[in-house]
Structure 1
Amino acid sequence: MISGLSGADWTLLTIAALLVGVAKTSIGGVGAISVALFAAVLPARESSGALLPLLIFGDLLAVAVYRRHVNWPLLLRLFPSVAVGILLGTVFVAWVDDTVMRRTIGGTLLAVVLVHLWQRRRPQTGTGRVRAAVFGLLAGFTTMVANAGGAVMSVYLLSAGFRKLEFLGTAAWFFLVVNVFKVPFSAGLGLIDGDSLGLNAALVGVVVVGAVLGRAAIKRVDQGRFEKLVLLFTVVSSLNLLR
C-alpha cells in the first residue's frame, strides 16, 4: 500500500489525517472529508480499514480534552441499536462493491441532513427512544461501511440541542467506544493489516497537529456558526460520495 503511493497521494492522505484531528476536537463534519480523501486515494473498502486506527487515535485525543462533557444516559440509549447497525454494515461491506458502498453512504448522509432541516421547522413527533434507535442504527451502519457515522451523530446531537462542549464530549466518548468495537469486524474482513498499520504509523503525528489546531479553533466559533459548519461539511461530503 505505502510503496505504491505517489507524492500527490501522500499529500491528500496528510490533509485527511490533519482533518481527522481537527474533526475530533472541533467541527465534527470535517471528518467526512477525511473519509472522502482516503477513498479518493485507496479503494473504498480498503480505505475504511486504513482510516479506522487514525480515527481511534483521534478519539483518544478528544476524550482527553472533553472527557468531562459527556451525556452518558443518551449514549447508553444509542449503543444497542448502534451494535445492530455495525453488524448490518459488516454484512453489507462483505457483499457490495466500492461504487454501491460510496453511493449508499452519500445518499444516507444527505437524507439525514434533510430530515434534520425538516424537523427544525416543526415540533418533534417521535419519542426520544425511537429517535435514538433510528439514529443509532444509521450511525452504526454508516460508521462500519465508510467511517461516516460522524455526520449522522452530528445531526442527532444538534437535533437534541447540545451545546458545543457537550456535543464534542459526547461524540468523543461515543466514537471511541464504537470505533474500538469495530476493530475485530474490520480485521475479519481483511481491511486492517500490517500494510495499513504502516500507513497509520506514518500519519499519526499529523493527527496530533490537527487536534491542536481544532482545539484552538473551537474557542473562536460561536454556537450558531458551529451548527452551520457541521451541516455544511456533512452535505459537501455526502455529495462527493454520490459521484
Structure 2
Amino acid sequence: MQLFLVLLGAFVVFILSTLTGGGASLLLMPLVAVVVGVKAVAPVMAISIGMSSTSKVALFWKHIDWNLFLWLFPSTIIGSILGARLFASLSSDYLQILIGLLLVSTVLQFKKPSKPRFKVKAWHFAPMGLIVAFLSGLIGGVGPLMNSAYLNYGISKESLLGTRSANAILLHITKIISYAYFGYVTGEVLKYGILIGVTSMVAVYFGKLILAKISELFFRQIVVASMVLSGILMLWKNWDTIESII
C-alpha cells in the first residue's frame, strides 16, 4: 500500500512538475522517505528524476537551447560530484533553509511575470549551474531554483523544459555514478528509483498534453508560484532547525 501511494503521488507530482518547470524532488521527498528512509531519498530521486528528464528531452528535443546546455555542461558535472562527495559528511539543514528563502523571494522578482526585472545572459548559467549542481548533489534536490534564471533569459515554456531536462540528465547521471561509487546505491534504491522513474515518464507525457493548452504568460505565473510553494515546503520541512535558530 505504501508503494502504491508513492507511485500515485509520483504520477501526480511529475505531471505538476512538467507544468511548473520542475520541483518534483521537493514534493516527492517526504513520500519517498517514508518507504526507503531519509538517507536513501537522494539516490532514489536521482534515478527517478533522471528517467523523467529523459522522457522530457525526447518530447521537447527540438526546443532545447544547446548553447545554454554547453554553458552548463562542465559546471554541472563538477558541482554534482563535489556535492555527492560531501553528501554523507555535512548537515544540509541550513542549506535547505537558505534555498527555501531564495525560492520564496522569487515572488519579489516577478511582480509582473511577463516583464522580468533583469536580463540573464547565457554565460551566467555556468557559475549558477555549478552552485545548483553542488547543492543538488549535497541535499538530493533543490527544486526549481534556476527557473527564474531561465525565465529572465527569455526562453519559451517548451525550451525551458527541454533545456532544463537535458541538463538534468547530465546532473542526475553524474550524481548516480557518484552515489554508487560512495556506496549509497543499493538494490532497494535501484528498485524504487526505477519504479518511480517509469511512473514519472508516463506522467510527463500527460503533462505535455496539458502544457500545450496553456499560454506563455500563465506558464510563467505557475512557474513562479511553484518556486514559492517549493520554498515554503522546504522551510516547513526544516522548521525544527529554524525554531532552534530563533
TM over 0.5: yes
Contact kept, 8 Å, 2:68 with 2:122, in 1: the verdict is no
Structure-2 residue corresponding to 1:148: 141
Residue identity opposite 1:111 in structure 2: L
Moved over 6 A (4+): none
Uncovered stretches (5+) of structure 2, i.e. residues with no partner: 239-246
Which residue of structure 2 aligns with residue 111 of structure 1? Answer: 102
Asked whether the equivalents of residues 103 and 230 of structure 2 are also in contact (C-alpha less than 8 Å), the reply is no
Give yes or no for contact 2:51–2:198 (8 Å, CA) kept in 1: no
CA distance in structure 2 between the aligned counterparts of 1:20 and 1:29, rounded to whole angstroms:
10
Cα deviations by residue, 1:95-140 (Å, 9 ceiling, x for unpaired):
12xxx4244134224315526844876444x7652x3233112221
Distance in structure 2 (CA, Å) of the matches to 1:113 and 1:82: 24
Query: Which deviates more from structure 2 when the two are superposed, residues 170-179 or residues 199-208?
Result: 199-208
- Structure 1 residue 15: Cα displacement: 3.7
Q: Are residues 1:69 and 2:63 paired? A: yes
Shift of 1:34: 2.1
Counterpart of 1:26 in 2: which secondary structure? helix
Letter in 2 for 1:53: I
* Counterpart pick for 2:204 among 199, 203, 211: 211
Cα deviation, residue 237, structure 1: 2.2
- Normalising by structure 2, we get a TM-score of 0.80
Q: Percent sequence identity over matched residues?
A: 22
Note the C-alpha offset of 1:201: 4.2
The alignment status of 1:139 with 2:150, answered yes or no, reads no
- SS at 1:231 equivalent: helix
Determine the structure 2 residue equivalent to 1:223: 216
2:73 paired residue among 79, 92, 109? 79
Deviations 1:183-202 (A, max 9, x none): 21111233221111122344
Change (3 A) 1:153 1:145: same
Q: Which residue is equivalent to 2:243?
A: none
Indicate which of 160, 164, 175 corresponds to 2:153. 160
Q: 2 CA distance for matches of 1:102 and 1:50? A: 19
CA distance in 1, matches of 2:62, 2:97: 33
Paired with 1:18 and 1:68, the residues of 2 have a C-alpha distance of 25
Secondary structure in structure 2 of the residue aligned to 1:151: coil
What letter is aligned with 1:239? Answer: I
1:17 and 2:10 are equivalent in the alignment: yes
Structure 1 unpaired stretches of 5+: 1-6
Contact 1:102 1:241 in 2 (8 A): no
Counterpart position of 1:55: 49
Computed over aligned residues only, the root mean square deviation of the Cα atoms, in angstroms, reads: 2.7
Q: Secondary structure at the match of 2:125?
A: helix
1:42 Cα deviation after fit = 4.2
Q: Which residue does 1:4 correspond to in 2?
A: none
